[in-house]
Amino acid sequence: MTITNGTLKPPETNADEPIAAKRTGTAGVGFGRWWWALPAVALTLVVTYLTTAVGAFYAFTDWTGLGDFNFVGFDNFIHVFRDQALLGSVRNTLLLAAGFVVFTNLLGLSFALALNRTLKCRYFLRALIFMPVVLSSVAVSFIWKFIFAYDGPLNQFLNSMGLGSLKQDWLANPALALWCILAVMVWRSIGFVMVIYLAGLATVPVELEEAAALDGAGIWQTFRNITLPTIQPSVTIATVLTLIQGLTVFDEVLTLTGGGPGDATQTLATQVYSQTFIYGGFGLGAAAALVLTVFILILALIQQFVARDRAVRED
């Protein structure tokens, strides 16, 4: 294995090395035929793609969920980008997604680096940090709602520390509520991101780090030139997954604030729910859902492009 400009390259393949024989013959005829996949493909098409297409179709109608509907062209989309509450939810969604990607990845990577090797109690600490991931998001949010309550533990703690002036109605303060939601989302997902990075760190060869150390590289140089390039695929996976999770956040918002106070913490996903099921505006809800889908698609593609493997970039 060689390193060129910080990129690991696999050893050249020796032409004389035996190559696994290609599968030939008729063994297993009747198995593995393409039509074996038909039921699954049909179900996927019907359950996922057809329903999505039908949902997209309703975005161009004024359907209330009952009876007939009329075509309204792009009116619902215009409404999404003109309605102040819906526009605010777009802003909140982007803010939550950006904050979620940054904080979960920074903290997740930090914990992964800290608990990668050497520390004796690392397995226990890894389990501890991963624990919130396996809990139901609704249950977690209810616990945090109790913690953030005006007479809840957080304010009681501040009082006991003589910081009573910092006492807040955390979830009812329009300036703080969104940050409280972000904090709960990040707290719950750090363990998930940490595991992705731990898997990536397991692929970093110890001898490379040792060689770098012998050459006089510091911790930051080793991380920048050896660790980070090696775990690039983990970075891509973790950031894309957290971006999608951040853009589609629903449970935490609905449980912690219900989108309030006022509409201060509404996101696109909660607006889809409200418009569709509370107000009976299936057309507008479908349009908001379509906008959310397009957002996710565009941002995920941009992020994949930016965070793509360095080797691919240099090709």
Instruction: Name the residue nearer to other proteins (CB basis): 83 or 309.
Output: 83
CB of 293 to other proteins, least distance (A): 22
Interface mask (CB under 8 A) for other proteins, residues 280-299, using x and -?
xx------------------
Q: Which of residues 29-48 bind other proteins (CB under 8 A)?
A: 30, 33-35, 38-39, 42-43, 46
CB of 188 to other proteins, least distance (A): 20
289's tokens:
């859902």
d(CA 103, CA 181): 13
CB of 87 to other proteins, least distance (A): 14
Q: Give the contacts of 217 (CB within 8 A, at least 6 positions apart).
A: 225, 226
User: Which of 20, 121, 134, 278 lies at the binding interface for other proteins (CB under 8 A)?
Assistant: 278
User: Which of 169, 187, 208, 303 lies at the binding interface for other proteins (CB under 8 A)?
Assistant: 169
CB of 290 to other proteins, least distance (A): 20
CB of 39 to other proteins, least distance (A): 6
Side-chain half-sphere CA neighbours of 111 within 13 A: 23
C-beta separation of 4 from 311 below 8 A = no
Q: Which of residues 257-276 bind other proteins (CB under 8 A)?
A: 257-258, 260-264, 274
Number of residues that bind other proteins (CB under 8 A): 38
Interface mask (CB under 8 A) for other proteins, residues 220-259, using x and -?
-------------------------------------xx-
CB of 77 to other proteins, least distance (A): 18
d(CA 277, CA 271): 10
CB of 73 to other proteins, least distance (A): 18
CB of 85 to other proteins, least distance (A): 9
Residue whose C-alpha is closest to residue 167's, from 176, 308, 88: 176
User: Which of 123, 279, 298, 311 lies at the binding interface for other proteins (CB under 8 A)?
Assistant: 279
Q: Which of residues 172-231 bind other proteins (CB under 8 A)?
A: 172-174
Instruction: Name the residue nearer to other proteins (CB basis): 103 or 170.
Output: 170
Question: What is the three-class DSSP state of 14?
Answer: coil
For the chain, counts of helices (H) and of strands (E): 16, 2
* CA pseudo-torsion sign 58, 62, 65, 69: negative
Residue reference for tokens 């009952």: 66
Instruction: Name the residue nearer to other proteins (CB basis): 233 or 260.
Output: 260
CA distances from 121 to 116, 127, 134, 146 (A): 11, 10, 21, 31
Instruction: Name the residue nearer to other proteins (CB basis): 45 or 219.
Output: 45
Instruction: Name the residue nearer to other proteins (CB basis): 180 or 292.
Output: 180
d(CA 223, CA 109): 11
d(CA 47, CA 59): 18
Residue whose C-alpha is closest to residue 253's, from 152, 194, 183: 183
**Residues in a beta bridge with 3:** 8
Q: Which of residues 138-167 bind other proteins (CB under 8 A)?
A: 145, 148-151
d(CA 45, CA 33): 19
Q: What angle do CA 311, 312, 313 make, to 5 degrees?
A: 90
Binding positions for other proteins, rule: CB under 8 A? 30, 33-35, 38-39, 42-43, 46, 64-68, 145, 148-151, 169-174, 257-258, 260-264, 274, 277-281
